[in-house]
Amino acid sequence: MVAKAWRTNRAYMAEQSRLVRYYIITLMGALAVFTLAYNYGMTTFENQPQPLLNSMEVVIQTFTTVGYGEDAPWTSSIMNVLVMGMQTAGILLIFAALPVFVIPLVEDALATTPPTTIDQLHDHVIVCTYTSRSDVLIAELTDQDVDYVLVEPDRETATTLHEQGYSVVHGDPESPETLQDLNLDTAVALVGDSSDEENVSIALAAQEITDDIHTISIVEDSSLADYHRFAGVARVFSPYQLLGQRLANKVTSAELLNLNDIIELADDFDIVEVPIQNQSPLVGKTVSESRIGEQTGAALLGAWFDGEFTSPILPKAVVDEHTKLLAVGRGPQLEKLRQITHSSPRQPVHGHANVVVAGLGDVGMAVTDALSDAEISWTALDIEDKQGVDITCDATNPEALRNANIETANTVILALPDDTETVFTTLLIRELSPDVEIIARANETENIPKLYRAGADYVLALATVSGRMVAADFLPAESTSSMSDQTKVVHTKAPKLTEQTLAESKVRTRTGVTVIAVEREGEILTGIEPSFTVQAGDAVLIAGTDEEIEQFTELMMD
């Protein structure tokens, strides 16, 4: 919404500038034409020659409605008609000035003014400037109760953000004075999310204030990463490479997340996505009838029904061959789950092209590099004939997709740069090969639901992946980790849960999160039942969406 407002404001400013130019040109033209005509008329029809400057004075007096000087009255009809024309033109020019000058000035005076500095900042994160990536980063910081300030050089965008409740200042992120006013020397990190060139300038400006600041730069062109490091940037992230690696990880690894990356756990304790096979006895049953938890000991965190992620799962939801379960548990529990779903851990298939990659731009190249490192062969499609492309074609062409053996591929990764094209290609592939796994890239988060409805199995948003990766660089490792674009795992304390059972607290009903484990005196307790009582000093491991985690934080923490 803010990005759209930013584009609208920029367009508005450009239109206003154009109107001002046209108005000034029209005013000067009318003044010149009427001055010459009036001077000629006074000489020819009134027989009163006068200097050109006097004629201009009369025209200006007429335009401004302050009087007509000593020339009135005029004896000739032509001069009276000319003066009436001047009067009409003056009125029209006055009314034309209202939307060009007066109304914008009034609107500007009434508009909310964004701050230029924020006092008493410390242990905060400075983000320069606003993008969809930084929006995700800010959401992560807010979830973890980390203070931030957003520096936005565009006044209209800063105003919109300020009105929407963002902690934002209007200023130049490349200015040392701006960074100094935001207490850069006490900040946790400085994130540059502007153009590649501006990010370098931001880093150099920070170096004028302090050398002891963790600077992060998000670059569009990964080949420029070294220049950012030369400027003092500690970490350089390329969103396209990050997205490509994450897309490839969906093929190279069956596990969505190993919880040992969040907290030291006893034994193996993982979160996996398990597809339901046609032959599974679960097909056609409701979640309640399937008794998955009782049969396996694994806990269900959510599920994909027809491409849409749901958490928590309603007991009356019907499981079919298109359902994919998101479950948590230890190895034996997850193995039992795989047995009743007739699913096995996905293993990379070596030696033949079982993966098709559509789009070999920066994202697609990162995908193929990761697949090659995992010794998984692939076939690459792209509209341009360049190195690494196996088939030069338009991905929206059904015949070209058949030539790429889409119908026999295990997985198709769509790394196309245009979301509309990706949606259409997803529909084509799903029609050609109903069982193939489709992993898709999304540039705009609002297009994610479309891609799921079109038949994609996984959709990864560019902004979400890069924003969360940047947050993970400086947030505590044990605090949070993303399971998918929809769900996160958070390790936290919840004082308001103590001395009552989970059933009594109604934590899942009230917040939607699932308590998947409890850490008590260094020991990890799993298999958490509704009758489990949280004790003082316990830390809980919870899973849920961004909104559910936020709700949990508000209701269950001091």
**Model confidence pLDDT, tens digit, residues 436-460:** 889 999 988 888 888 888 888 888 8
The dihedral formed by the CA atoms of 156, 162, 168 and 174, expressed in degrees to the nearest 10: 0
Q: Is 429 left (phi over 0), alpha (psi -120 to 50) or beta?
A: alpha
pLDDT classification of 128: cutoffs 50, 70, 90: very high
Does 65 or 47 have the greater pLDDT score? Answer: 47
pLDDT over threshold 60, residue 253? no
Given a cut of 80, whether residue 103 has pLDDT beyond it is no
Residue 476's pLDDT band (boundaries 50, 70, 90)? low
Q: Which two tokens stand for residue 357?
A: 């990659």
With a cut of 90, say whether residue 206 has pLDDT above it.
yes
CATH 3.30.70.1450 fits 487-556, yes or no: yes
How would residue 198 be classed by pLDDT, with cut points 50, 70 and 90? very high
CA distance 234 to 189: 10
By percentage, how much of the chain surpasses pLDDT 70? 85
What are the structure tokens assigned to 229, written together? 């490091």
Mean pLDDT of 19-43: 86
Strands 437-442 and 458-461: parallel
Give the residue range(s) of CATH 3.40.50.720 domains in the chain.
Answer: 125-237
515: which strand partners? 542
pLDDT at 407 over 60: yes
Predicted local distance difference test score (pLDDT) of residue 337: 87
- Residue 54: pLDDT over 60: yes
Output b/e per residue, 489-520; b: 16+ Cβ within 10 A: bbbbbbeebeeeebeebebbeebbbbbbbbbe
Instruction: Give the pLDDT of residue 7.
Output: 42
Report whether pLDDT(349) > 60: no
Higher-pLDDT residue of 353 and 207 is: 207
CA dihedral 177, 179, 183, 186 (to 10 degrees): -130
227-243 mean pLDDT? 91
> pLDDT class for 107, splitting at 50, 70, 90?
low
Angle (CA) 137-234-417 rounded to 5° is 50
Q: Tell me: pLDDT of 78 over 50.
A: yes
The confidence score (pLDDT) of residue 263 equals: 46
Token digits for 172? 């130049």
Query: How many H-runs (helices) and E-runs (strands) does the chain carry?
Result: 21, 24
3-class DSSP assignment, residue 379: strand
Sheet strand arrangement including 125-128? 168-170, 148-152, 125-128, 189-192, 214-218, 235-237
Percentage of the chain lying above the pLDDT 90 cut: 23
Window from 13-22, 115-124, 133-142, 342-351 with minimum mean pLDDT = 342-351
500 has pLDDT over 60: yes
The count of other CB atoms within 10 Å of the CB of residue 191 is 33
CATH code 3.30.70.1450 region(s) in the chain: 255-341, 487-556
User: How far is the C-alpha of 214 from the C-alpha of 216, rounded, in Å?
Assistant: 7
Residue 257 confidence (pLDDT): 46
What number is the average pLDDT over the span 298-321? Answer: 76
Q: What was the pLDDT predicted at 207?
A: 93
Q: Are 92 and 23 in contact (CB under 8 A)?
A: no
Question: What's the pLDDT at 259?
Answer: 47
CB 530 within 8 A of CB 557: no
> The domain 2-110 is classified under which CATH number: 1.10.287.70, 1.10.1740.10, 3.40.50.300, 1.10.8.870?
1.10.287.70
Out of 3.90.1150.10, 3.40.50.720, 3.40.50.460, 3.40.190.10, select the CATH number for domain 125-237. 3.40.50.720
**Any idea which residue has 């020659």 for tokens?**
49
Whole-structure pTM over 0.95, yes or no?
no
- Report which of 209, 205, 210, 231 is spatially closest to residue 219, judged by C-alpha positions: 231
Q: Which residues make up the CATH 1.10.287.70 domain(s) of the chain?
A: 2-110
pLDDT value at residue 5: 41
Q: What integer pLDDT is reported at residue 173 of this predicted model?
A: 94
Contacts of 134 (CB under 8 A, 6+ apart): 127, 150, 191, 193, 467
Indicate if the pLDDT at residue 108 is higher than 80: no
| Assigned fold of 255-341 | Alpha-Beta Plaits (3.30.70)
Quote the Cα angle for 215-218-219, to 5°. 125
Q: How confident is the model at residue 261 (pLDDT cuts 50, 70, 90)?
A: very low
> In the predicted model, what is the mean pLDDT of residues 230-243?
91
pLDDT in tens, 503-544: 888 887 788 888 877 888 877 776 677 888 989 888 888 877
CB 541 within 8 A of CB 525: no
Cα 193 vs. chain centroid, distance in angstroms? 12
Taking residues 405-418, report their average pLDDT. Answer: 89
Selection from 150-154, 261-265, 300-304, 307-311 with the highest mean pLDDT: 150-154
Tell me the CA end-to-end span of the chain in Å, nearest whole number: 32
> In Å, what is the CA distance from 256 to each residue of 250, 290, 378, 484, 516?
8, 23, 22, 7, 15
* pLDDT at residue 351 is higher than 60: no
What are the angstrom distances between the C-alpha of 551 and each of 156, 316, 509?
31, 24, 11
Sorting pLDDT into bands at 50, 70 and 90, what band is 266? Answer: very low
The pLDDT of residue 477 is 47
Give the pLDDT score at 308.
Answer: 62
